[in-house]
A and B are shown apart, each in its own frame.
Chain A
Amino acid sequence: MTMRHLSHRQSVLWIAALVHRLSGLALAIFLPLHFLTLGLAIHGEAPLESFLRWSDQPLVRLAESGLVFLLLVHMLGGLRLLVIENLPWRDGQKELATIAAGLSAVIALILLARLF
């Protein structure tokens, strides 16, 4: 039986959970690379400096803003869970979830703007 497209998957809260999971996976994949580039400093300033210059390129800057967005949206999604699990139940969560995602996007865009 192939009934994959159940309509409750259009719910904001379901999408919030999916974004939380996907952002976590993306960050998990990114982190080892991040640590490796920082580890370049072991060999002195020059390798790290040349990496920083390389990352001045617009596309890399865009990717960095994307990473900041992922980090913020993952953290805010996690905070959403901590609130549900530890504070008294509140309605209006859909609105809060949407605001959290919006806030992450705004901050990431500000960072992007400042980089150019």
Chain B
Amino acid sequence: MRLRARSQRKVAKETTEVTTEGATKDSMSDTRSDLTVSLWRGAQQGRYESYKVPWRENQTVLDVVTFVQRHLDPTLSYRFACRVGMCGSCAMTVNGRPRWTCRTHVSSVVKDGRLKIAPLENLPIIKDLAADMRPFFDKWQRAKGAFVPARTRNDEIERIRPDGTARIAADAAIECINCGICYAACDTVRWNSNYLGPAALNRAWTLVNDVRDGANAERLQAVAASGGCHACHSHQSCQELCPQRLNPTASIAGLKRRTMWAYLKGEI
């Protein structure tokens, strides 16, 4: 597949009329030729614009967006970085679902030769397909999603057993790369502007389970307040759509238990 991608990019560099030549080359054995792609253009106010993109055998949605920007409309704004599913930058709404576009094959989402692509929901739009991630990260901070060390460099290193219950719980939730898909999918985020959201709360849960952390009193206060973990209704769109297969619903349930006991014991 890597070879195929490389040869596709080579084709793009050599010819200027990729639309026709590329399509003819590849479509000799392929009856489909073009995708109809609707892309959101503008900001909060805007409209969908339609483009025709050659339909190839191994093609991701990111390939499609890149094709539009490089060959059809250079004014298109979009965001990506690694293009191999490790950074989370390329997340967009594709045919109604938030996905990593670099890891979404066109063949798995295309409907009648059509794709509809928009920026992530629940976030302000900067331009076209680029959403403003700042509210997402603000809430991360508000949930106290940052590690606060309890020891200094002069203390002995804390020994953490990888098979300890707390560590297992933290490890199960730790691989979040802040792509924003869960936040975009969450209806409680949509309905409740105070709600910290699945990603921030998931991270708070990993820190609550980190015995090295010294800020758990503040953290539990933060997630027990209005808009914290208790606002979650367990719709579970987050865990259904997380590309890392994380489970924020379960993490949030853990936070609910932890804060409930802290409350009943008078600690918060």
Q: Do A and B bind each other?
A: yes
User: Which residues of A pack against B, CB within 8 Å?
Assistant: 1, 3, 5-9, 11, 13-14, 17, 21, 80-81, 84-86, 89, 93
Ranked 9 nearest A-B pairs via Cβ: A7-B96, A89-B250, A85-B253, A8-B237, A13-B236, A6-B96, A14-B235, A17-B235, A85-B256
The answer to whether the Cβ of B40 comes within 8 Å of any Cβ in the partner chain is: yes
Question: B256 to chain A: which residues have CB within 8 Å?
Answer: 85
Q: Please, how many angstroms separate the alpha-carbon atoms of A17 and B235 in the complex?
A: 6
B121 touches which of A6, A9, A86 (Cβ 8 Å): A6
Total residues of chain B contacting the partner, CB 8 A: 25
B95 located at the interface, meaning its Cβ lies under 8 Å from any Cβ of chain A in the complex: yes
The residues of B that contact A9 with a CB separation of less than 8 Å are 187
Residues from chain B with a CB closer than 8 A to the CB of A80 are 234
Helix, strand, loop or mixed for chain A's interface? helix
Which residue of A5, A7, A17 is within 8 Å of B234 (Cβ)?
A17
Closest approach, in angstroms, between the C-beta of A89 and any C-beta of chain B?
5
Give Cα A1–Cα B42 distance, bound, in whole angstroms: 10
Q: Does B245 contact A (CB under 8 A)?
A: no
Kindly state whether residue B4 has any CB partner on chain A within 8 Å.
no
Most-contacted residue by chain A among B236, B250, B256 (CB, 10 A): B236
CA distance A85 to B247 in the complex (A): 13
Check A84–B249 contact: CB distance below 8 A.
Answer: yes
